[in-house]
Structure 1
């Protein structure tokens, strides 16, 4: 087991008023200049206007060699940048005299603290501007019990252990130094301000509360408890009046107040450029506020850089004497989190808003799109990506409403430039000439042949293309898996073992309700339900419903018994998990396979089906098959053979007014860099990336335990652990080859899916016959097609 991942397991055991937001440059001494600019009016005509100049540009700095995740960062009084970070050999401390361009040889935190080799790092580090360091180590008594050790390292290097167990009273989730050099520690019982020289408590803030976020700004402490922001005077320890303007602005985005993990957040505060001022960073951007003021000023727009990416969390922020910001982040878009340092420097010669604007449409909010947009805008700061969502979930807009509005906008020449086609029936758009041919853009994109060929028409034109894809997979008891080749043989196999099922051992995790089971089995079957003309293939739908009913009836009684033991009905379980919301995280049809592995190990379920979308998913299925008793897996063929699951399907509107820029963005998505933006949203379609073993390995080596998850066996009551292990190159290549054999893209139409699921659930419940269910679904589909 690698040191870093062993550390993660030990930590898991130990943790049991009107606001004006605008662009600001004056505080850095940079003014705004106006130049002539062209902008499209509502009729697409160019008009001349004055354009504001100046904005912060982002660049990424190098991190020390071997750095995986950053724990802490500080810019000390002498302008030396200090970084504390994880490596495979433990926690290291390294300094940079040139603000992140080069790094000095690292020093071991254990050696600096003079901590015993038997102790494990406790995750908490605070860096003082004078060079002092505070850190914690754990003495594990067993898997659940521990003793904390607290260490202070002076600016001159003297280390001493502090006796703080009584004062702190628990695990340290977050820590920092005040301007006076006192320690501030959050441990689940408020924030304690402690004199590091003698361990005495100076003040206690938010006593008895769990403080999820806190920072010091001059003589003030700002804390977050639940969804409330508190302000304190650190001279007296007393609460200050609420800063209503600041509180309102920060609270306008609820995500700002959520703790992401130990030492990482969505919100950070630092000292401002003047007395009684501050800067803070969130995913919306970097902001400045003067205490007692009436305005929160936006310094840097998060939409123009990677701040807006949903897959980064903030570790630390500092600002140098020249006004540049440095942000240490944890990037979780990869299979293994990666530490990065982003620098934001003001450029007076760059337009405040990019000259070119692209509108990118998706039916629902899409994390991958946000990640890709952030990465693209960092690389191409002259293009602004406006992400437009058809259904926000905050209103009563339905899919039909959203698509009607989209079509109206496109036909009027005011629609988006680029469309994410997931959930959108593309055939109609292609037939009506609403999409551009992408074959020129994709000519040199090195896309896997089996993925690109199904999207070519008779003339070789391509109007839509998935950026990612998934591999359907079935896993479970070997005798079951070996006997299953399609949906009918699955029903035969499950039905033949019906005497074996109990409330503690069901065929699927989705066996609890007809709707859940129908949806769980629909992923690789739905393509068979649609004829070439878009109408419903009623014979295929009837087969799907009949076979799913056989599977459900085989374990109906024990499933109902288990629900009764839970004290819930099937309908209540569906509602609690948003099962009927096909757009929610838990309502997604194409589930990631790694989620169900533990239920197989614990023998709660016999089988699991899903998709392999990432190196993490491969780790999961490999680990289950290695550690489970008689568990195997293979390609899942339902009513569609050799299918792959297209993800993040893109198209360019034929009426785009910015086709050159649109082609640039789409080209980026299929570039080597674009294909590596996220390793969790699907497998890359670019051959060179897909075949790159390092893409699948991430930061791990063969045999590394990347995480440990636990459950218990319902039948025996015993605890069950599943160690997620990194497979080797031979396993990776086997999965790569499997992916290359898939030639039939699953065609997703959520309107048809919804009709089949609703009618099918009524049939399985015995409310209507199977013929009536098929007719009901067909009627709904015909109504949809007529609209």
Structure 2
């Protein structure tokens, strides 16, 4: 087990406001100049307009060699950048005299602290402006119990251990230094301010509360408890009056107040450019606020850089004397998190808002789209990407409403430039000439042949193309897996073992819910069989699906009901709690990313699992389950459709786009080497060179590394079940790569048809209607949809 991943395991065990967008009056380097600019009108002509100039541009700085994740960063009083970071087998400290261009020879944190080799790193690190460092180490008593050791390293390198266990009152979740050099530690008992010279407690803030976020700004401390923001005077230790303007602005985005992990957050504060002012960063951008003021000013728009990416979490922030911002982040867009340092420098010659605006439409909010948009925006600062979401979840807009509104906009020439086609019936758009041919853009994109060929028409034109894809996979007891080749043989196999099922051992995790069982089996490998070439419902295929799924459901119906009764709940209550009928919710998603079988197979709770391999992390999981489980195997999952792949993030360009050149640039980026490596959890790359790149599948891990540890319990014995997620070797990776290349048929997703079949099918499985009535009910709903 690598040191870093072992460390992660131990940590898991241990624990009306006005926003002014643009420049700031008097803020160094932020004046705007008006220049002539242009934008396409609805006729494609360029219209001249005055354009404000000046905005912050983002650049990536180098990190020390071997750095995997950043734990802490600070600009010292002499503007030396100091970094504490993980390497594969420990924690190191390194300095940069040129603010991230080059790094000095690193030092071991353990050696600097003079911590015994038997101690394990405890994750908490703070760096003071004078160069002093605070850190913690764990002395593990057994697998669950530990003793914390606190170390302070002075600016001159002297190390001493502080006796703080009784005073702190628990595990240290985060820490920082005040301007006076005092240490602040947050635990489950609030924030303690500690004198590093003698270890005495100076003040306690939010005593008895779990503080999820805190920062010091001059003589003030700002903390977050639950969803409340508190302000304290660090001179007296007493609460200050609420800064209503700041609180309201920050709280307008609930995600700002969530702690995303140990030492990483969605919100950071630093001291401002003037007395009694601050800067803060969130995914919305970088902001400035003067205490007691009436306005929060946006310094940098997060939509114009990677700040808006949902895969970015913030570790530390600093600002130099020239006004440049430095942000240490954890980037989880790849299979393993990586540490990055982003620098934001003001450019007076760059338009405040890009000249070209590109609208990208998605029926539902999509993390990958936001990740890709942030990465593209950084690469092409002259193009502004506007993400338009059809169903935000904040109103009563249905899928039908959203699609009608979209079609109306497109026909009026006011629609989006690019469409994410997931959930949208592309055939209709293609037939009506609403999508551009992408074959020219994709000519040199090096897309896997088995993926691109199904999307070509008779003339070789391509109107839509998935950016990612998934491999259908089935996992479970070997005797079951060996016997199953399609949906019917699955029903035969499960039915033949029905006497073996109990409330503690069911065929599927979804066996208790007719709707969830139908959806789990429908989405991946059966839905494509239900649609005829003319878009109508293939009633024979739907009837076969419902009959076979009913056999599976009835085989374990009684023990599944006993399981629900033991929880004191009903099918309806469980379905409502998990939003399973919302095809856009986390648990209701059509193509679930929750893995294939996992712990439920090893614990014996379930016999089978079906799903898809969408990422290197998924491969690690299924490999680990098959290696550590007793008699568990897996293979390609074929249902009513054979040798199919699961298209993800399907893109098309509107034929009525007013910004075709920019739209083509964005689509080209999505299929570039860089674009294909964005959002590795959202699907496998379709670009051959990336898909076949073994390093993409390894991430930061080496063969045999334990990348994480997960646990559950055996329902029958009550014993804990632990699975180490292990990085497989190249031979296993190559086997999965070759399997993906054999798949030649894209799964066709039509949520309208799926919803109709699921609703009618659930009534059938519950015995409320016959299978013939269920098929007729579904067909009627589909015909009504087609007529509209």
TM-score by length of 2: 0.99
- Segments of 5+ residues of structure 1 without an aligned counterpart are none
C-alpha offsets along residues 216-238 of structure 1, whole Å, 9 cap, x if unaligned? 00000000011111100000111
C-alpha offsets along residues 543-598 of structure 1, whole Å, 9 cap, x if unaligned? 00000000000000000000000111011111111111100111112122536300
Displacement of 1:46? 3.7
Displacement of 1:43? 6.5
When residues 286 and 18 of structure 1 are mapped into structure 2, their CA distance, relative to the original with a 3 A threshold, is closer
SS at match of 1:594: coil
C-alpha offsets along residues 719-774 of structure 1, whole Å, 9 cap, x if unaligned? 11000000000000000000000000000000000000000000111111000000
Q: Does the 8 A contact of 1:25 with 1:54 survive in 2?
A: no
Displacement of 1:335? 1.1
Q: Does the 8 A contact of 1:708 with 1:724 survive in 2?
A: yes
Q: Does the 8 A contact of 1:473 with 1:593 survive in 2?
A: no
C-alpha offsets along residues 460-494 of structure 1, whole Å, 9 cap, x if unaligned? 00000000000000000000000000000000000
C-alpha offsets along residues 339-376 of structure 1, whole Å, 9 cap, x if unaligned? 00000000000000000010000000000000000000
Q: Does the 8 A contact of 1:19 with 1:294 survive in 2?
A: no
User: 2: CA distance between counterparts of 1:385 and 1:36?
Assistant: 21
The equivalent residue for 1:285 is 285
Q: Does the 8 A contact of 1:542 with 1:774 survive in 2?
A: yes
SS at match of 2:430: helix
When residues 16 and 786 of structure 1 are mapped into structure 2, their CA distance, relative to the original with a 3 A threshold, is closer
Which of 580-589 and 444-453 deviates more? 580-589
Displacement of 1:26? 3.8
SS at match of 1:179: coil
User: 1: CA distance between counterparts of 2:49 and 2:650?
Assistant: 37
Displacement of 1:89? 1.9
User: 2: CA distance between counterparts of 1:292 and 1:597?
Assistant: 53
Displacement of 1:209? 0.7
The equivalent residue for 1:596 is 597
Which of 515-524 and 544-553 deviates more? 515-524
Displacement of 1:16? 40
Which of 451-460 and 580-589 deviates more? 580-589
Which of 32-41 and 517-526 deviates more? 32-41
Q: Does the 8 A contact of 2:643 with 2:743 survive in 1?
A: yes
SS at match of 1:544: helix
User: 2: CA distance between counterparts of 1:146 and 1:671?
Assistant: 48
Displacement of 1:647? 0.1
The equivalent residue for 1:708 is 709
Q: Aligned pair count? A: 787
User: 1: CA distance between counterparts of 2:283 and 2:96?
Assistant: 27
SS at match of 1:463: coil
C-alpha offsets along residues 684-705 of structure 1, whole Å, 9 cap, x if unaligned? 0000000000000000000000
SS at match of 1:27: coil
When residues 606 and 420 of structure 1 are mapped into structure 2, their CA distance, relative to the original with a 3 A threshold, is same
User: 2: CA distance between counterparts of 1:403 and 1:135?
Assistant: 54
User: 2: CA distance between counterparts of 1:44 and 1:397?
Assistant: 31
Which of 26-35 and 574-583 deviates more? 26-35
C-alpha offsets along residues 13-60 of structure 1, whole Å, 9 cap, x if unaligned? 111954444443741133111111223456765432211000000000
Which of 19-28 and 356-365 deviates more? 19-28
C-alpha offsets along residues 413-453 of structure 1, whole Å, 9 cap, x if unaligned? 00000000000000000000000000000000000000000
Q: Does the 8 A contact of 2:20 with 2:298 survive in 1?
A: no
User: 1: CA distance between counterparts of 2:44 and 2:700?
Assistant: 48
Q: Does the 8 A contact of 1:644 with 1:743 survive in 2?
A: yes
SS at match of 1:48: strand
When residues 573 and 326 of structure 1 are mapped into structure 2, their CA distance, relative to the original with a 3 A threshold, is same
User: 2: CA distance between counterparts of 1:53 and 1:717?
Assistant: 65
Which of 592-601 and 61-70 deviates more? 592-601
User: 2: CA distance between counterparts of 1:261 and 1:72?
Assistant: 14
User: 1: CA distance between counterparts of 2:41 and 2:54?
Assistant: 23
Q: Does the 8 A contact of 1:314 with 1:328 survive in 2?
A: yes
When residues 88 and 25 of structure 1 are mapped into structure 2, their CA distance, relative to the original with a 3 A threshold, is farther
The equivalent residue for 2:744 is 743
Question: What RMSD, in angstroms, separates the aligned Cα atoms of the two structures?
Answer: 1.7
When residues 393 and 593 of structure 1 are mapped into structure 2, their CA distance, relative to the original with a 3 A threshold, is closer
C-alpha offsets along residues 509-543 of structure 1, whole Å, 9 cap, x if unaligned? 01011101000101230000000000000000000
Displacement of 1:334? 1.1
User: 1: CA distance between counterparts of 2:571 and 2:563?
Assistant: 10
SS at match of 1:759: helix
The equivalent residue for 1:465 is 465
SS at match of 1:152: strand
Q: Does the 8 A contact of 2:215 with 2:221 survive in 1?
A: yes
The equivalent residue for 1:228 is 228
Q: Does the 8 A contact of 1:14 with 1:171 survive in 2?
A: yes
Q: Does the 8 A contact of 1:594 with 1:616 survive in 2?
A: no
Q: Does the 8 A contact of 1:153 with 1:159 survive in 2?
A: yes
Q: Does the 8 A contact of 1:267 with 1:280 survive in 2?
A: yes
Q: Does the 8 A contact of 2:42 with 2:413 survive in 1?
A: no
Q: Does the 8 A contact of 2:362 with 2:420 survive in 1?
A: yes
SS at match of 1:470: strand
Q: Does the 8 A contact of 2:38 with 2:46 survive in 1?
A: yes
Q: Does the 8 A contact of 2:539 with 2:779 survive in 1?
A: yes
C-alpha offsets along residues 142-173 of structure 1, whole Å, 9 cap, x if unaligned? 11100000000000000000000111010000
Displacement of 1:605? 0.1
Displacement of 1:333? 1.2
SS at match of 2:239: coil
C-alpha offsets along residues 280-319 of structure 1, whole Å, 9 cap, x if unaligned? 0000000000111111000000000000000110000000
C-alpha offsets along residues 250-302 of structure 1, whole Å, 9 cap, x if unaligned? 00100000000110000000000000000000000000001111110000000
Matches within 5 A, 1:472-621: 472-524=472-524, 525-592=526-593, 594=595, 596-621=597-622
C-alpha offsets along residues 67-103 of structure 1, whole Å, 9 cap, x if unaligned? 0000000000011000000001200000000000000
SS at match of 1:138: strand
TM-score by length of 1: 0.99
Which of 18-27 and 355-364 deviates more? 18-27
Determine whether 1:625 maps to 2:626.
Answer: yes
User: 2: CA distance between counterparts of 1:32 and 1:718?
Assistant: 65
User: 1: CA distance between counterparts of 2:297 and 2:597?
Assistant: 46
User: 1: CA distance between counterparts of 2:286 and 2:719?
Assistant: 49
Q: Does the 8 A contact of 1:19 with 1:245 survive in 2?
A: no
User: 1: CA distance between counterparts of 2:412 and 2:427?
Assistant: 20
SS at match of 1:116: coil
Q: Does the 8 A contact of 1:163 with 1:199 survive in 2?
A: yes
Matches within 5 A, 1:429-440: 429-440=429-440
The equivalent residue for 2:684 is 683
When residues 352 and 18 of structure 1 are mapped into structure 2, their CA distance, relative to the original with a 3 A threshold, is closer
Q: Does the 8 A contact of 1:69 with 1:339 survive in 2?
A: yes
User: 1: CA distance between counterparts of 2:17 and 2:404?
Assistant: 38
C-alpha offsets along residues 667-689 of structure 1, whole Å, 9 cap, x if unaligned? 00000000001210000000000
Q: Does the 8 A contact of 2:38 with 2:47 survive in 1?
A: yes
Which of 584-593 and 558-567 deviates more? 584-593
Q: Does the 8 A contact of 1:21 with 1:295 survive in 2?
A: no
The equivalent residue for 2:130 is 130
User: 2: CA distance between counterparts of 1:25 and 1:782?
Assistant: 60
SS at match of 2:674: helix
SS at match of 2:535: coil
When residues 16 and 197 of structure 1 are mapped into structure 2, their CA distance, relative to the original with a 3 A threshold, is farther
When residues 744 and 366 of structure 1 are mapped into structure 2, their CA distance, relative to the original with a 3 A threshold, is same
User: 2: CA distance between counterparts of 1:40 and 1:26?
Assistant: 34
